[in-house]
Amino acid sequence: MADCEAFVDTIVESLSDEPANYNQIKAINWGKEPLTGDVTDLELGLTTAPRTNC
């Protein structure tokens, strides 16, 4: 059981508070930025949508 708890603690400690694309995904969802490219890649953080100057 201790190994399981240590594993979970290690994973949780390595997580960031927000995903890397969090603000960008919110802007797309709110219609402030266009969605270009594959949504799956964006959600997984594999690519980023182009930034706008707005």
Contact between 54 and 31 (Cβ < 8 Å): no
Nearest to 53, CA basis, from 32, 22, 38, 31 = 32
Q: Where are the domains of the chain?
A: 19-49
Cα(32)–Cα(24) distance, integer angstroms: 9
pTM > 0.85: no
* Per-residue pLDDT, 54: 45
Tens digits of residue pLDDT in 1-50: 689 999 999 998 888 788 778 888 889 889 998 888 788 888 777 765 55
* Per-residue pLDDT, 50: 52
- Sign of the dihedral defined by the CA atoms of residues 26, 48, 51, 20, in that order: positive
* Per-residue pLDDT, 7: 93
